[in-house]
Amino acid sequence: MARIALVTGGTRGIGEAICTTLKEKGYTVIANYGGNDVKAAEFTQRTGIPAVKFDVSDFDAVSEAITKIEADYGPVDILVNNAGITRDGTMHRMSFEQWDAVIQTNLASCFNTCRAVIEGMRSREFGRIINVGSVNGQAGQYGQVNYAAAKSGIHGFTKALALEGAGKGITVNAIAPGYVDTDMVRAVPAEVLAKIIKTIPVGRLGKPEDIANSVAFLVGDEAGFITGSTLSINGGQHMY
Ligand code: NDP
């Protein structure tokens, strides 16, 4: 039977590419999204992949949704924690709400989803968890103390959970994309983006597929000896 993959924030951008790539590889894929019903419906129509709405920052909602997903489709073998947001601002202007929204959506979400699947993975002695970090969690970024803290936290979370899962057939890895051409990056002012592209040695933004192919590798059986690692996928922008 095909393994089941749940991809949070799977209906757009990098998440969509991860969903379609995993589907092409034969996995049964379920996408999650946060609130954009129109984009989610278009995604399902385009890809044939079901999209389930829940807020990854809400512990109870995540727990309830994953229980239902497992009842409807079967146990989640592969979890890709991809949902993420930005709420940029320099520290002296950042509100608590901006800080908290990013920490809850980008970091606490990983606890919420992993907590909901980890016992099942342990009992079946198989699991693949991929947490989507960021180059800005590795290197820091002006105007992003919230985002950099959350993404940096993901890298520590990944290593600790990798240690816990290693004896139980569960691998836990992070990826750290550089700048990728999605809605999130299209929101960056054009002149700022032009400067950023100049700092990328390969001379272009990443494509969602660049990220998705790495995720497909890490969730495969052939990657069973890779755990606790962070794979940088950034066109050489930051060598960590
Ligand atoms: P997009 O903004 O294109 O898509 C974000 C996705 O996350 C959407 O499906 C959105 O759902 C979902 N989402 C947002 N908030 C929630 C929530 N509270 N609960 C559930 N789902 C939610 O993002 P990208 O594809 O650009 O980024 C994907 C990941 O990659 C993020 O974690 C991001 O931080 C990371 N990343 C991105 C980079 C880039 O350059 N693009 C670089 C490095 C890392 P909805 O449509 O309903 O809002």
132 C-alpha to center of ligand 1: Å? Answer: 10
Contacts made by residues 46-54, CB under 8 angstroms, sequence distance 24+: 47/16, 47/19, 47/20, 47/23, 48/23, 49/10, 49/19, 49/20, 49/23, 51/10, 51/11
Q: What pLDDT score does 184 carry?
A: 87
The CA-to-CA distance between both ends of the chain, in Å, stands at: 38
Percentage of the chain lying above the pLDDT 70 cut: 100
Residue 1 reports pLDDT greater than 90: no
The arrangement of secondary structure in 4-233, i.e. its CATH architecture, is 3-Layer(aba) Sandwich (3.40)
Tell whether ligand 1 has an atom less than 6 A from the beta carbon of residue 56: yes
CA distance 61 to 2: 26
Tokens read off for 74: 């079967």
Give the pLDDT mean for 53-60.
98
Give the pLDDT mean for 130-147.
97
Residue 171 reports pLDDT greater than 90: yes
Mean pLDDT of the chain: 97
What pLDDT, in 10s, does the model give residues 99-128?
999 999 999 999 999 999 999 999 999 999
Percentage of the chain lying above the pLDDT 90 cut: 97
Q: Which SS3 state, helix, strand or coil, does residue 132 take?
A: strand
Sketch the domain layout of the chain as residue ranges: 4-233
167 C-alpha to center of ligand 1: Å? Answer: 31
Q: What pLDDT score does 143 carry?
A: 96
